[in-house]
Structures are given as structure tokens and as C-alpha cells.
Structure 1
Amino acid sequence: MERPELPLQQLHAFVVLAEELHFGHAAARLGIAQPPLSQQIRRLEDKVGHALFSREPGRVALTPAGRELLPAARRALTGLADGLTAARAVGSGRAGRLRIGFAASLALTVLPGLLRGFRHRFPDVDLDIQEMTSAPQIAALHDRTIDIGLLREPPTDETELGFRTVLSEPFVAVLPSTHPLAAQRAVRIGQLADSPFVLLPRAVGPQLYDQITGLCTAAGFTPRIAQHAVEWQTVCALVETGLGVSLAPASIRRIRLKGVAFRGVKPDTARTRVAVAWRKYDRNPLVGHLLATVSQDPPGLSRPAP
């Protein structure tokens, strides 16, 4: 089916004349002389193949064909106006859709403050929040299935991605509450040598995994890993059952389980960092807006967990 070619200028002139039913008044409203208005209407009528107005001395009225065209013409003009408004909003970053990946444990710390700050500034932006561990976030950024990542210990060999630290925190020992070391306020990492460990698999966060095992190596032992779990919530639950102990970022203390004790570690100089990640050459203005929100440090964004 062939689509008719109806210039928007002619449709606009038609709608205005249909509302005014007076060539002089319509021409004044359009800011043109009366003869050009008459020419535009005549050209539109030629395209339609029927008269749209009846012209009698002192009276202009819509014909049946004109009455039929008027609602469609209004919808076309309104649709175009709405489309232009939406396009300008998206182009300026005032609207659109931003896809954010985040590590589950950050829902307890960094994520709420970041989202609150961003939504306060850009309430018309749709946020698509996807829970995923750090390594899948890196892959998703490369695959362009997310626009922003919120992850732990970003890789150091990335050339296409940018990273900005939003939180730096110490480690804690995660112990069953019945563990002898739970009676201490802080434990030396070397004291964990005889206990089995519950850790995240290296594949889901290579840098963090290597950092934790590196702390054990520096303390003189290689951790004996009894169980892997993909999320810190699960790690804590397995520790509670007595399957082992763990070393974790301090913000994990916000996971409240009665049978789990969190204790500071010695030495306490090691830090793990949380970073926001993005494609360096991404032209999506929403990415820039979120990075600006990070820089402005909304409440709670960069504060270590108590």
C-alpha cells in the first residue's frame, strides 16, 4: 500500500484553517499572507483528490472529506511534536533508559544512595537495574547490554572501560558465632589458617578473590576452600551452618544473621574498593549524568558501613 506524501506544512495550514474557518484569520495565525495559505490548501486538496473546504462568499466550511481528514491531521501533528520533545529530552539526557549492573552486596551500601541522587536529578529517566557479579558486568559492558557497572575490584588491564572508585573499605573475618575466635574483637588473619573457607568463585570476581587469597598467603598459609558461593549473602549463610569461615568486605556486616559473627582483622591495612564502570567512548548523555552524580557524592554513597 502506497503511503500518501502530505507535507507537514500543508497539514498545519489545513488544521489552522479548519479551526478558524476564515482565510484571513488563519493566515494571520500562521504568520503568512492569505495567497500562500490558499496555495497550500489547494496543493493539499490536489493530493487528497477532493475539496477539503467549501468556499462561499463570507463563509468557509469543512467538506465531508475535510471533516474526515481533520482528526488524522491533528494526530500526525501532535505525534510529531511529541516525538520531537521526546527526542530532545533523550538527546539532552533528561529522559531515556539507563541500564545499570550491580553486585548484590552493594544493594546494602552504595546502590541506594547512588540511585536516590540520580533519580532526584533526573526523575524522567527509566532505570533498568540488573543484579550481576563483577566479571559478568565487565562482559556486559563490552557487549553493550548494560551502560553502567557497579562492581568490586575492577580489573587493571582494561583499555576500553573507565573506572571511578566510590567506596574503599577494610576486610572483616566472617565466623560462625560458635567459633572460638568469635570471642575476640579482632583476629589475626593467620589465626584462620586451620579453618576451612567459604569464598566466592574466582570466575565471578577474579581481583577480589586474588586479594583475599593473597591476604592469607601473606599471613603464611593457603586457604583450604571447602565451599564456593556466588553471593555474599550465601557465603554468610554457609558460614552460619558451620561449613567454614571467610574474609569479606566490611560492608557485608549489614547482612544480619544470628549465627554469624563479623570481626575486624589484623593487619587492617588492606582495602577493597567499589567502583563505577563505563565504556570510555560511550556518547550516551545519561552515562555522563550518572558519573556526575557519583562526583557530587549523594548521602551515603562513599561512607563505609558501620
Structure 2
Amino acid sequence: MDRPELPLPQLHAFTVLAEELHFGHAAARLGIAQPPLSQQIARLETKVGHPLFVRASGRVALTPAGRELLPAARRALADLSDGLAAARAVGSGRAGRLRIGFSASLALTVLPGLLATFRTRYPDVDLDLREMTTAPQLAALQERTMDVGLLREPPDDAGVGPLAFRTVLTEPFVAVLPADHPLAAQRAIDVSQLADEPFVLLPRPVGPRLYDRITGLCEAAGFAPQVVQHAVEWQTVCALVGAGLGVSLAPASIRRLRLREVAFRPVEPRTARTLVAAAWRREDRSPLVANLLAALGEGGKGGKGDGDGDRQRRKKG
């Protein structure tokens, strides 16, 4: 047996009349004349198959059928209102689920400010944060299992293809040394001074461009680094350096790890910098993504990175 369709305007008219129990008052509240209200109620009663109101001597009262229908009518109207509000929130990017990948070192720079800004502005958005190196982030974006990536050194074809990129910040490199290393006594070192040192680096597949930029610094200084150990995360790289396995070159923000066994020193040339970018699918028109990118321009300011900012703060102090 088919269920009768109950148009929402009729349910609305019914609930208002059930609350007012007066056709004139209900019509005024609905902003219509009494005849159209009576017609709406009559159509609804026809669909139900029973009277919903008793009309006698100028009084209006709900029938048993009307009393039974009223809670369901209110729920239907409330569900519609909630659904419309939810749809508007998602449609405007004020609600929903946003999947964000980020390189671990960005938790020391751009990520905290970005999350604080975004959370303040869009508290109802569910953020799914995933710590990932660059190559897995690019794959996840292509596979549509992630919405935005915050990564180091976008690929060579960043200007074309399915992914779009925006530079978030750049920062200089630092040498990562065991705290008791002779070079740790210097305020800054030249990359060439690391020529005879064993290196601890990230594996190239997890971040090809960053790996090549670091090895390129060494090659420009006249040597190829002797890599004796790989580690996927910078914190592990630094821990291995502190244990005496070798030295490394890393983004300057890594200094914020403040490991007792490790010394961080600026390197020459200081013009060498690593780039941090946001990445997303070029065809993605999601308001969630657009809102995050807007917040990124405020909570995680682009421009020069950790090394320069630290020097300016020390001067002010």
C-alpha cells in the first residue's frame, strides 16, 4: 500500500493551527488569508482520511487523529529545518570533513597558526589531520583520499597537471651536528666543511625534490654526501645525528626540536632555501578547501621562514 504524500506547506499550516486553535490567528501568523488556510487543512484531512480539527461554535480543537499527527508533523518540519541548515553550512564550507596532509616539520612552523585560525573561524568543520611526507601526500591527492597537502618542495611540473600549488613560506637550511662536534663551536659553517662527514638523510622516494636540493647544496660545495643512514622523519634524523651516526642538512625550523645532544648551525650560502607549499586538486571547487587556503594566508603567513624570523626576534630581545 502506497503511503500518501504530505506536502510540507500543509503540515506547516496544520501545526500553526494546532498551536493557535484559531483560524484567524493562524492565518495571520502564516501571512495568508483564512480561505487558503482552510483549503490547506481540508486537503491534508483528505490525504489523512479523517478530520484533524473539530470546528464548533467558533471553537477549534484537535481530533484524536489530529493529536496523533501533530508530533510527527513537528518532527518532519524540524528535520527539514535541520537538513536545510546543515546543507547551507556544508555548502558554504562552515561544516563538513576536511582531510589535510602535512609534513612533520610543518608542525614546527605553519601548521599551528593555520589550525588556530581555521578552528576559530570554522569550529564545526571536522579536520582529519594526517602526518605524511611529500610523495605520499601527492599520491593521496591524486587518489582523492586527501583534500589539501602541506608539503616541502613541490614537483617540477607544479605549474601544470591535476594539482595546484601555492607557496606558503621559504626557510633557510641549517647544519645538524652532534653537540660535541668540532664544527658546533662555530656560529655558522660553510657546506664545504661537511665534505668528509657521514650523512643522515631522508630517503629520496619520500621527498625527491628536498633530497635533491640538499644533495645539490653539497655538490655545489664540491662533494657528494656520503649517506650512511636514512630516516623517514626529521626528528629521527636529528636523534641519529645526536647519537653520533653522522651530520645532516635540514630546514631551519628543525631547530625548534631543541635536542640536547644536537647542535644546529646556519650554513653558507644562506641564500639556499627550502620551499613549503600547499597543494590541492586543481578542479576541486570545495568551499572547505577554499576556506582553508584563505586561512592559510592569515594563520600561516607566507614569506621568509624560521631562520630569519628567529634572528629578528633575537635582535629585538
Q: Same fold (TM over 0.5)?
A: yes
Alpha-carbon distance between aligned partners in 2 of 1:269 and 1:285, rounded to the nearest angstrom: 37
1:222, CA displacement in angstroms? 1.6
Are 2:236 and 1:234 equivalent residues in the alignment? Answer: yes
Unaligned residue ranges in structure 1 (runs of 5+):
none
1:205, CA displacement in angstroms? 0.7
- 2:148 maps to which residue? 148
Label 1:201 to 1:60 Cα distance change in 2 as closer, same or farther (>3 A): same
SS at match of 2:279: strand
Of 172-181 and 95-104, deviating more is: 95-104
- 1:56 maps to which residue? 56
State whether residues 200 and 230 of structure 2, in contact with CA within 8 Å, keep that contact through their aligned partners in structure 1. yes
Length-normalised TM-score, structure 1: 0.94
1:45, CA displacement in angstroms? 1.8
Alpha-carbon distance between aligned partners in 1 of 2:11 and 2:294, rounded to the nearest angstrom: 43
Length-normalised TM-score, structure 2: 0.90
1:96, CA displacement in angstroms? 2.6
Alpha-carbon distance between aligned partners in 2 of 1:236 and 1:98, rounded to the nearest angstrom: 31
Alpha-carbon distance between aligned partners in 1 of 2:277 and 2:157, rounded to the nearest angstrom: 15
Alpha-carbon distance between aligned partners in 1 of 2:239 and 2:3, rounded to the nearest angstrom: 63
- 2:314 maps to which residue? none
State whether residues 198 and 227 of structure 1, in contact with CA within 8 Å, keep that contact through their aligned partners in structure 2. yes
State whether residues 115 and 299 of structure 2, in contact with CA within 8 Å, keep that contact through their aligned partners in structure 1. no
Q: Kindly report the root-mean-square deviation, in angstroms, between the aligned alpha carbons of the 2 structures.
A: 1.8
1:287, CA displacement in angstroms? 1.7
SS at match of 1:275: strand
- Residue pairs, 1:1-306, within 5 angstroms: 2-158=2-158, 159-295=161-297, 297-298=298-299, 302=303, 304-305=305-306, 306=310
SS at match of 1:42: helix
Letter in 1 for 2:305: P
1:132, CA displacement in angstroms? 1.0
Letter in 1 for 2:171: E
Alpha-carbon distance between aligned partners in 1 of 2:173 and 2:3, rounded to the nearest angstrom: 66
Alpha-carbon distance between aligned partners in 2 of 1:87 and 1:68, rounded to the nearest angstrom: 30
Label 1:2 to 1:243 Cα distance change in 2 as closer, same or farther (>3 A): farther
1:19, CA displacement in angstroms? 0.5
Alpha-carbon distance between aligned partners in 2 of 1:299 and 1:91, rounded to the nearest angstrom: 25
SS at match of 2:285: coil
Percent identical across equivalent pairs? 75
Q: Deviations over 1:175-220 (max 9, x none)?
A: 1112222122222212212221111111111100111111112222
1:126, CA displacement in angstroms? 2.7
Alpha-carbon distance between aligned partners in 2 of 1:134 and 1:150, rounded to the nearest angstrom: 8
State whether residues 168 and 278 of structure 2, in contact with CA within 8 Å, keep that contact through their aligned partners in structure 1. yes
SS at match of 2:86: helix
SS at match of 2:263: strand
Unaligned residue ranges in structure 2 (runs of 5+):
311-317
Of 74-83 and 158-167, deviating more is: 158-167
State whether residues 95 and 124 of structure 2, in contact with CA within 8 Å, keep that contact through their aligned partners in structure 1. yes
SS at match of 1:170: strand
SS at match of 2:250: strand
State whether residues 111 and 300 of structure 2, in contact with CA within 8 Å, keep that contact through their aligned partners in structure 1. no
Alpha-carbon distance between aligned partners in 2 of 1:102 and 1:279, rounded to the nearest angstrom: 15
Letter in 1 for 2:105: S
Label 1:3 to 1:190 Cα distance change in 2 as closer, same or farther (>3 A): farther
Alpha-carbon distance between aligned partners in 2 of 1:70 and 1:50, rounded to the nearest angstrom: 14
1:303, CA displacement in angstroms? 5.4
Label 1:225 to 1:67 Cα distance change in 2 as closer, same or farther (>3 A): same
SS at match of 1:97: strand
SS at match of 2:299: coil
Alpha-carbon distance between aligned partners in 2 of 1:298 and 1:191, rounded to the nearest angstrom: 38
Of 155-164 and 238-247, deviating more is: 155-164
1:103, CA displacement in angstroms? 0.7
Q: Deviations over 1:103-147 (max 9, x none)?
A: 111101111111222233333333222211111111111122222
State whether residues 110 and 302 of structure 1, in contact with CA within 8 Å, keep that contact through their aligned partners in structure 2. no
- Write out the 4+ residue segments of structure 1 that deviate beyond 6 Å after TM superposition: none
